[in-house]
Amino acid sequence: MTDQVFKSIIEKYPDKDIRFLENSSPSGQHSLLVPPEIAVDVAYFLRDCLGFDYCSNVTGVDWINGVKKGIWKSDSNEEIDGGKSGFLEVVYHLYSVQKKVGPLILRVRTKTREDRPELPSLTPVWKSAEFQEREVFDLFGIWFGGHPDMRRLLMWEEFEGHPMRKDYIPPDDYEYEPTPHGQILERIKTKAGKTE
Amino acid sequence: MNVTLEGETVVALKPVFGYLHRNHEKLAEGMSYLGSMPYTDRLDYICPLTNNWAYALAVEKLAGIEVPERAEYLRVILAELTRIQNHAAFLGFVLGDMGAWGTALMYAFRERERILDFFEELTGARMMVNFMRFGGCRWDTPAGWLEEVRKFVKGVPNFLDEMEKLLVENEILLARLVGVAPLSGKRAIEGGLSGPPLRASGVDYDIRKVDAYGIYSRFRFRIPRGEYGDCYDRFMIRIHEARESVEILKQALDEIPEGPVLNPKIKQRGFRPPPGEVYARLEAPKGELGFHIISDGTDRPYRYRVRPPSLINLTLLEEMCIGAKIADVMVILGSIDIVLGEVDR
C-alpha cells in the first residue's frame, strides 16, 4: 500500500528531487524525503487525495555530521552517506484512519544547522502537528514558517539553546545559588578560621 | 493553563507545559537500550506496563526479535489489567474534579489497589515495574498468581456495574457531563486525538484491531464507540472499554500456554540492534503510545522519541473549552485523561 503511495507522489512531481529511502532494519518502514518547497503541497495531496488524514507523530532528528551509514540503503544518494556539513530533519508519521493503513513516513531536511533554519509548517494541514512542531522548535531549533503559534513548548521563554541537538552542552547547575559553604571552606584555610 | 474569561465563559485558553520536563529523550540517547526501560515507567506512571511494552515492541521490531508465546499472553494480561486500573482511577479522578471528592475515588482505588497488589507480587513494585525485556518478560509468574488474577477478574464486572449505577442514575453527574464540549469525529481525527477520546467521538479506530500487535488478533472483543463525543461519552466509554478488557482477560487467562517467557538468544545488556529506523505504537489506556527509534548500530539509540498520547490529546483542548463555563474546564480536561509525567516527559 505505502509503496504505491510513494510511487504516485514521485510520479506527481517528476521534476522535483523526491527520494525514496529504504530502511535497512527488519522493521521495513521506508520513508520519503521531500524538498521543503513542495512539502505543504505533498501534505495536502496525501491528506485530500490519498486519505492520510491522521498525523500521528512529528519529531526532529539532528544529523550533526550527516546521516550515519547503514540506516538507509540509499546507494544513489552520496551526500546522505556521511556528508561533511550536518543538517536537521523533521519526520512525520502519517496514518489513514479510514483506510487503516500506515505508517507513511515523510521526511523534510534543512540545508544547514546554523542560523535558525526554517521549514514549512504542516500544522495547517494536520492540526495534530501543532504542539509537536512547537516541541521540535523548542528542542531542535527549527523554525516552522506558517505555524499559527510558534513558541517554545517545554522550556521557558528565556531559555537559550536547543537541548536535543547533539552539540548542546548542559550546564552544570541550572539553579545555582551562592551559599556560604564556599566562604566557610576558604576561611578554614586561614588562621582566623581555625578553632584551635 | 492561561484562561481568559468573559464573565464565566471561556474565550481563550492556552495550556502551559514543561513544569515536569526532564528531557527523557535526551537521557535515553545517552544510555544503553536496556537502561531506558526503567525510565519508561515514569512516563505515564499510572500505567507503566504498557509503556514498557511499547518500548520493548519498538526495539523488537527494530531488531526483528521473536517473543515466546507465554510472554505474549502475559503481556496481554498485564496490559489489560493496566487498562482496567487506569480507567478505574480515571472514573475516580473525574468525579473528584466535579466535587464528589472522596467516595468515588475510594471505590475506584479499592479496585486499583488490588491490581497494583498483583503487579507487586509479580514484579516487585507497585508502579515502577521495569518488567518487560526485549524478547519477553523478566521472569515467570509466581505460583498461583494466575489463579488469583482469574478470581479477581470475575469480580471486576460487579465493580463496573456498581460504578455505572452510581453514574447513570445520578442527576448531578448527568447535568455536568451531558452535552458538554461535544467533538465531531472528523475534528478529532484532524486534531490527532487517540484512544478513548477519539472513539468517544464515534471513530472506529483501535490500534489493537488495526495493527493487531502482539497476539491481539486471537481475541474476540468489541470496540465501544460514543455517539456525540461529549464529556458523557468520553466518560462512559471507559466503563465499556474496561468491560471488553475483562473479556480479553478471560480468554487470555484460559489460553495461556506453558513455556519460557524470555527469548534466551537476546543479550539484554550491551544490546546492539542493526542500524535502521522504527516507529512502533500500541493502544495504551490513554491513547496511541509510540516509540520512534533510530539506531546507528551502536549500543545507544541515535534518536529516541516518545509519542505521548496525553500531550497530543490536549491539542484540541482550547477548541473544546471555548464557549464553555469556567467550571466545565476542569471536567473537560479531566475527561481527556492526561498524566503530566507523559505530557512533559
Q: Give me the mean pLDDT over the A7-29 stretch.
A: 79
Residue B228 C-alpha cell reads as 456525540
pLDDT for position B55: 92
Q: Which of A56, A126, A154 sits opposite B290 (nearest CB)?
A: A56
- Of B208, B207, B195, nearest to B237 by C-alpha is B195
Q: If you measure CA to CA, which chain A residue comes closest to B193?
A: A128
Placement of cell 530533519 in the chain: A89
Are residues B315 and A127 in contact, defined by beta-carbon separation less than 8 angstroms? Answer: yes
Asked if the model's pLDDT at residue A79 lies above 70, the reply is no
Per-residue pLDDT tens listing for chain B (345 residues): 888 888 888 888 888 888 888 888 888 888 888 888 898 988 888 889 999 999 999 999 888 888 998 999 999 999 999 999 999 888 888 888 887 777 878 888 888 898 999 999 888 888 888 888 898 888 888 888 888 898 999 888 888 888 888 777 788 888 888 888 888 888 888 888 988 999 998 888 888 888 888 888 888 888 998 888 888 888 889 989 999 999 999 999 988 888 888 888 888 888 888 888 899 999 999 989 999 999 888 888 998 999 999 999 988 888 888 888 888 888 888 888 888 888 888
Q: Which of B61, B280, B292 sits opposite A59 (nearest CB)?
A: B292
Element at B24 (helix H, strand E): helix B24-29
Highest mean pLDDT among A11-20, A85-94, B245-254: B245-254
Tell me B313's DSSP state: T
Asked if the model's pLDDT at residue A196 lies above 80, the reply is no
B22 touches chain A (CB under 8 A): no
- Helices B103-123 & B145-168 angle (0-180, nearest 10): 160
- Is A164 within 8 Å of B274 when comparing Cβ atoms? no
- Is A130 within 8 Å of B315 when comparing Cβ atoms? yes
Asked if the model's pLDDT at residue A76 lies above 60, the reply is no
- Which residues make Cβ contacts (< 8 Å) with residue B28, sequence separation at least 6? B35, B36, B39, B301, B304
Query: Residue B314 carries which side chain, given as an amino acid letter?
Result: L
Residue B45 C-alpha cell reads as 506512571
Strand B287-295, strand B276-284: pairing = antiparallel
Q: Structural domain boundaries of chain A?
A: 2-170
- Which residues make Cβ contacts (< 8 Å) with residue A112, sequence separation at least 6? A85, A86, A87
A64 touches chain B (CB under 8 A): no
pLDDT for position B86: 92
Q: Structural domain boundaries of chain B?
A: 2-344
**How far is the C-alpha of B129 from the C-alpha of B113, rounded, in Å?**
15
pLDDT for position B76: 92
A106 touches chain B (CB under 8 A): no
Asked if the model's pLDDT at residue A173 lies above 70, the reply is no
Q: If you measure CA to CA, which chain A residue comes closest to B58?
A: A27
Q: Which CATH class is domain A2-170?
A: alpha beta
- Is B191 within 8 Å of A128 when comparing Cβ atoms? yes
**How far is the C-alpha of B225 from the C-alpha of A119, rounded, in Å?**
38
Task: Report residue A192's pLDDT band, with 50, 70 and 90 as the boundaries.
Answer: low
B25 touches chain A (CB under 8 A): yes
What ipTM does this complex have? Answer: 0.85
pLDDT for position A193: 58
**How far is the C-alpha of B261 from the C-alpha of B69, rounded, in Å?**
7
Q: Which fold has domain B2-344?
A: Cytochrome-c3 Hydrogenase; chain B (1.10.645)
Q: If you measure CA to CA, which chain B residue comes closest to A168?
A: B26
Q: Is the peptide bond before A103 cis (omega within 30 degrees of 0)?
A: yes
**How far is the C-alpha of B57 from the C-alpha of B280, rounded, in Å?**
7
Q: If you measure CA to CA, which chain A residue comes closest to B305?
A: A59
Q: Give me the mean pLDDT over the A73-89 stretch.
A: 62
B314 alpha-carbon distance from chain centroid: 15
Counting every residue, how long is chain B?
Answer: 345
Are residues B28 and B43 in contact, defined by beta-carbon separation less than 8 angstroms? Answer: no
Mark A89-115 as b/e (b = at least 16 C-beta within 10 Å).
Answer: bbbbbbbbbeeebbbbbbbbbbeebee
Q: Which of A57, A132, A153 sits opposite B279 (nearest CB)?
A: A57
- Of B151, B149, B126, nearest to B77 by C-alpha is B149
Phi/psi at B110 (5° precision): -60, -45
Q: Give me the mean pLDDT over the A171-185 stretch.
A: 67
Are residues B235 and B335 in contact, defined by beta-carbon separation less than 8 angstroms? Answer: yes
Q: Which of A25, A55, A155 sits opposite B277 (nearest CB)?
A: A25
- Of A35, A105, A120, nearest to A72 by C-alpha is A105
Q: CA dist B25 to A117, B216, B272, Å?
A: 22, 29, 18
Q: Give me the mean pLDDT over the A43-67 stretch.
A: 86
User: A175 vs chain B: nearest CA distance in angstroms?
Assistant: 14
Asked if the model's pLDDT at residue A83 lies above 70, the reply is no
Q: How many CB atoms lie within 10 A of CB A48?
A: 11
- Which residues make Cβ contacts (< 8 Å) with residue A133, sequence separation at least 6? A58, A90, A121, A122, A123, A144, A147, A150
- Which residues make Cβ contacts (< 8 Å) with residue B51, sequence separation at least 6? B40, B41, B43, B44, B284, B289
Asked if the model's pLDDT at residue A155 lies above 80, the reply is yes
